[in-house]
């Protein structure tokens, strides 16, 4: 007998919904009934998205502060599986997504329910997923799977292309020379391979070893250099937000300074820091690095890693 699946998602450009649709094809083909719930903020986040407006989301996304959502309802009060389609903003879950996870009605809906997180992102997602894990843990949900589709291009190139996409709404080559932004069409189409794995576990309603199979299929790519940068950057982002909260009247000017700091840190400082780490620290920390990478690939939640 087919299972009842709820697919919850927020999207601006449509990329998250496209990934979700491809992922769910095998699940639906296997006879399961899928219901969709789109997250809609009362105050919409536009697309195309002016870059200053994007940076204005930094304090609220980093501090996981929810926004008001439009009223919503589902056809059932309980589901066999809930799929959560989301995206990171500023190394944190997007504000609409963190808002649904903190919605009291939604927390009741997912309590005790197996949940899979499914995201499309530029490349850094581990800090945001840790915040998701905490929110899901607090809601009493059972995180059983995590799937990430990322832009495969080098970090410094995707930094430019993502802002081109946000600012213009066009998923094309900036100036005709940069790579296309976002998750590739090939990878979006390939999301069905993860759906096949999930569907096989959904039949037996036992997800204990599912994430291991998903990881073997490439579902949660953790690259050391990005993990290293992101762990450092998460702490720095929080310091900037603390400054903004301490001086709210200077919010706009501080965010302008933050924007330029971010570009310099990414394009100039991070290559130097990574080189120093490669020569002086990484060779002596292999056991710790493997432990961290394996943790981020999984679905377990720990307060401290």
Helix 270-280 with 224-246: angle, nearest 10 deg? 130
| Better-scored residue on pLDDT, 1 or 229 | 229
Cα–Cα dist 157/168, whole Å: 17
pLDDT tens sequence across 101-118 = 999 999 999 999 999 999
Per-residue pLDDT tens over the stretch 7-35: 999 999 999 999 999 999 999 999 999 99
Mean pLDDT value across residues 227-237? 93
* Alpha-helical regions (H) of 140-223: 155-168, 185-189, 192-204, 210-216
Spatial separation of the C-alpha atoms in residues 209 and 226, rounded to whole Å = 26
pLDDT exceeds cutoff 90 at 273: no
Q: Report the run of H or E that residue 35 belongs to, with start and end.
A: strand 33-38
Q: Is the pLDDT of residue 1 over 80?
A: no
For residue 121, which of 96, 85, 156, 95 has the smallest C-alpha distance? 85
Claim: this prediction has a pTM higher than 0.85: yes
Token pair for residue 129?
Answer: 């997923």
Distance CA 303, CA 251 (A): 30
Residue ranges, CATH 3.40.50.360, the chain: 4-221
CATH code of the region 4-221: 3.40.50.360
Higher-confidence position of 271 and 139:
139
Nearest one of 24, 191, 215, 3 to 114, comparing CA atoms: 3
Strands 81-86 and 114-121: parallel
* CA gap 205, 195 in Å, rounded: 15
pLDDT over 80 (residue 148): yes
pLDDT tens-digit readout, 46-86: 999 999 999 999 999 999 999 999 999 999 999 999 999 99
Residue 183 tokens, joined: 């998750």
Asked whether 16 and 93 are in contact (CB, 8 A), the reply is no
What are the backbone dihedrals phi and psi of residue 114, each rounded to the nearest 5 degrees, phi first? -65, 135
Q: How far, in Å, CA of 153 to CA of 176, rounded?
A: 16
Q: Residues 169-219: pLDDT tens digits?
A: 999 988 888 899 999 999 999 999 999 999 999 999 999 999 999 999 999
Element (H, E) at 121: strand 114-121
């Amino acid at each position: 007998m087919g299972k009842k699946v709820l697919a919850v998602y927020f999207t601006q450009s449509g990329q998250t919904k496209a990934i979700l649709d491809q992922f769910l094809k095998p699940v639906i083909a296997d006879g399961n009934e899928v219901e969709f719930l789109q997250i809609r903020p009362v105050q919409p986040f536009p697309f195309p998205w002016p870059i200053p407006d994007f940076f204005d989301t930094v304090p609220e996304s980093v501090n996981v502060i929810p926004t008001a959502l439009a009223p919503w309802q589902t056809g059932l009060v309980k589901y066999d599986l809930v799929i959560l389609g989301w995206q990171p903003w500023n190394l944190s879950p997007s504000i609409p997504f963190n808002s649904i996870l903190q919605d009291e009605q939604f927390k009741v809906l997912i309590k005790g329910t197996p949940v899979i997180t499914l995201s499309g992102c530029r490349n850094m997602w581990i800090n945001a997923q840790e915040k998701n894990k905490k929110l899901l843990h607090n809601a009493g949900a059972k995180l059983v799977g995590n799937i990430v589709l990322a832009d495969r291009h080098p970090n410094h190139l995707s930094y430019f292309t993502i802002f081109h996409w946000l600012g213009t709404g066009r998923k094309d080559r900036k100036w005709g020379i940069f790579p296309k932004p976002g998750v590739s069409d090939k990878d979006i189409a390939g999301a069905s391979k993860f759906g096949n794995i999930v569907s096989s576990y959904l039949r037996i309603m036992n997800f204990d070893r599912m994430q291991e199979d998903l990881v073997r299929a490439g579902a949660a790519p953790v690259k050391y250099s990005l993990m290293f940068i992101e762990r450092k950057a998460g702490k720095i982002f929080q310091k900037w937000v603390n400054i903004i909260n301490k001086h709210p009247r200077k919010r706009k000017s501080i965010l302008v300074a933050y924007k330029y700091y971010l570009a310099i840190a990414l394009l100039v400082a991070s290559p130097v820091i990574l080189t120093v780490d490669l020569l002086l620290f990484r060779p002596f920390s292999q056991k710790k690095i493997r432990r961290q990478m394996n943790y981020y690939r999984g679905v377990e939640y720990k307060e401290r890693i």
